[in-house]
């Protein structure tokens, strides 16, 4: 099986797993570390912001993951393997675009000078991305969840949105090697969708997958059928992403109910394509899908024949499954990020110590404290640069183990990742 079509086989067989880094999440070290850990755990797709710097960070993480897997297999060690002992496969890299205002494409903003001096700052406490400080919003970290907006005591926080431009598509697809595009839309925006689709259409031969993400709304199914009329015929697989409760997977198990309900609703439409949940997905989602016999990969399900055609497949098969009756996969965003946040925050804390010590050393010329810390169990402190996950082998092991605990719910046939990675 080639590494090009393995993710699409996961889609056909009903164990597709997508990591959502965030359509407006531009924290480069975090994107890189999340992509590395989840790639080693066996994801099929990584969804990132349509930002060249973010694309470069994610591609570099995938490259490092492939090197780690290859190096480990060459040494005869057990990596994250399938039953046929094949190494981990390269995931598809997807960017998200939008045809209008969307909560996934916004940032919070406020002027810290206008905050009352005695404010308890509940915005800082509720922010899942740790993006709010006394100096304001750290733009690259904010991914637009909006939880800070209603909690501000003086309603001082606002949000600004942005819309994808057609000019950004060609460089991303042709120059940066993007594999897939996801379009975020909402009921009633057919004309806006058509304009964005016209910009994407010339680059379809270079893409392996198209996804359309839409939340619930009045006349949703009629709107999705109208979208299908716009994009068909399509020579690559099409995913309908049902955005149940956007960016809420980390607030509790109950958040997944909206995602599953919306998935069930879209199943009734009989749309050609694959159905993948998002918006509120968490550690409870797969078990609930299995209990309802909604997952296409359930051993007991009457699984439909889900086939697709891409330029990378050797045999010509139907482009889309007809009237799928099951869910083919799950995308995880806020829950997947939160799962690894303790490890990533630990790396960031070490990075901050590194920066502080470098400043101290430059002022006082005293390297004794740096030397003592560098000889301790933390990663070697070389310079005030972001600490990459592969630079801390023990943290890397922990992160992959946590990522695998989520991935393995959809892919129980994978063996537990066991690799012995050391700094080169």
pLDDT tens figures, 136-186: 999 889 988 889 999 999 999 998 887 877 677 778 877 888 999 999 999
pLDDT of residue 380: 46
Confidence band for 353, pLDDT divided at 50, 70 and 90: low
Between 147 and 1, the more confident residue is 147
Residues 268 and 328 in one domain: yes
Total-model pTM: 0.85
334-348 pLDDT per residue, tens: 999 999 999 998 888
Per the prediction, the chain carries an average pLDDT of 83
Residues 150 and 130 in one domain: yes
Residues 151 and 96 in one domain: no
pLDDT at 421 over 70: no
387-402 pLDDT per residue, tens: 889 999 999 999 999 9
Residues 281 and 296 in one domain: yes
pLDDT of residue 422: 56
pLDDT of residue 71: 78
What percent of the chain clears pLDDT 70, i.e. is strictly above it?
A: 78
CA dist., res. 82 & res. 265, Å (int): 33
Average pLDDT of the residues in 48-57: 94
pLDDT at 359 over 70: no
pLDDT at 82 over 70: no
Evaluate whether residue 404 is within a structural domain: no
Residues 138 and 77 in one domain: no
145: alpha, beta or left? (left if phi > 0; alpha if psi -120 to 50): alpha
Evaluate whether residue 381 is within a structural domain: no
pLDDT of residue 74: 64
Evaluate whether residue 316 is within a structural domain: yes
pLDDT of residue 163: 81
- Domain containing 251: what range? 6-100+165-336
pLDDT of residue 387: 83
209-218 pLDDT per residue, tens: 999 999 999 9
228-237 pLDDT per residue, tens: 999 999 999 9
Residues 173 and 144 in one domain: no
Number of domains in the chain: 2
Burial of 4 (0-12, 13-18, 19+ CB in 10 A): middle
Evaluate whether residue 400 is within a structural domain: no
pLDDT of residue 274: 96
284-335 pLDDT per residue, tens: 999 999 999 999 887 544 433 333 333 333 333 445 666 678 999 999 999 9
Residues 211 and 79 in one domain: yes
The residue from 301, 318, 336 where one domain ends is 336
Residues 12 and 124 in one domain: no
The residue from 279, 307, 336 where one domain ends is 336
Q: Are 91 and 44 in contact (CB under 8 A)?
A: yes
Evaluate whether residue 213 is within a structural domain: yes
225-278 pLDDT per residue, tens: 999 999 999 999 999 999 998 878 888 888 899 999 999 999 999 999 999 999
CATH of the domain at 153: 3.30.70.20
């Amino acid at each position: 099986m080639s590494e090009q079509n393995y993710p699409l086989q996961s889609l056909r067989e009903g164990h597709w797993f997508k990591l959502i880094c965030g359509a407006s999440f531009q924290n480069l070290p975090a994107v890189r570390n999340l992509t590395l850990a989840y790639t080693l755990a066996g994801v099929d797709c990584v969804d990132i912001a349509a930002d060249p710097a973010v694309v470069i960070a994610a591609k570099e993480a995938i490259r490092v993951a492939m090197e780690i897997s290859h190096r480990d297999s060459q040494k005869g060690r057990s990596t994250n393997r399938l039953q046929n002992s094949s190494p981990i496969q390269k995931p598809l890299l997807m960017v998200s675009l939008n045809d209008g205002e969307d909560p996934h494409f916004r940032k919070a903003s406020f002027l810290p000078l206008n905050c009352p001096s005695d404010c308890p700052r509940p915005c800082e406490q509720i922010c899942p991305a740790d993006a709010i400080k006394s100096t304001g919003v750290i733009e690259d970290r904010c991914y637009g969840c909006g939880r800070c907006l209603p909690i501000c005591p003086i309603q001082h926080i606002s949000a600004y949105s942005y819309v994808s431009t057609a000019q950004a598509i060609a460089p991303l697809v042709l120059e940066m090697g993007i594999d897939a595009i996801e379009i975020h839309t909402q009921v009633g925006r057919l004309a806006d969708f058509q304009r964005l689709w016209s910009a994407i259409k010339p680059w379809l031969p270079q893409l392996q997958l198209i996804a359309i993400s839409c939340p619930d709304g009045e006349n949703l199914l009629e709107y999705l059928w109208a979208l299908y009329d716009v994009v068909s015929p399509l020579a690559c697989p099409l995913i309908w992403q049902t955005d149940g409760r956007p960016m809420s997977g980390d607030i509790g198990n109950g958040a997944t109910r909206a995602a599953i309900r919306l998935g069930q609703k879209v199943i009734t439409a009989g749309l050609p394509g694959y159905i993948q949940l998002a918006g509120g997905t968490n550690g409870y989602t797969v078990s609930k899908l299995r209990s309802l016999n909604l997952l296409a990969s359930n051993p007991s399900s009457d699984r439909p024949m889900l086939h697709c055609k891409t330029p990378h497949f050797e045999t010509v098969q139907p482009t889309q499954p007809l009237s799928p009756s099951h869910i083919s996969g799950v995308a995880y965003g806020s829950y997947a990020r939160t799962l690894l946040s303790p490890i990533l925050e630990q790396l960031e804390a070490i990075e901050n110590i590194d920066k502080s010590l470098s400043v101290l050393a430059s002022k006082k010329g005293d390297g004794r404290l740096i030397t003592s810390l560098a000889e301790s169990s933390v990663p070697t402190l070389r310079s005030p640069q972001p600490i990459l996950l592969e630079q801390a082998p023990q943290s890397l092991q922990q992160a992959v183990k946590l990522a695998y605990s989520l991935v393995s719910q959809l892919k129980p046939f994978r063996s537990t990742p066991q690799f012995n990675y050391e700094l080169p």
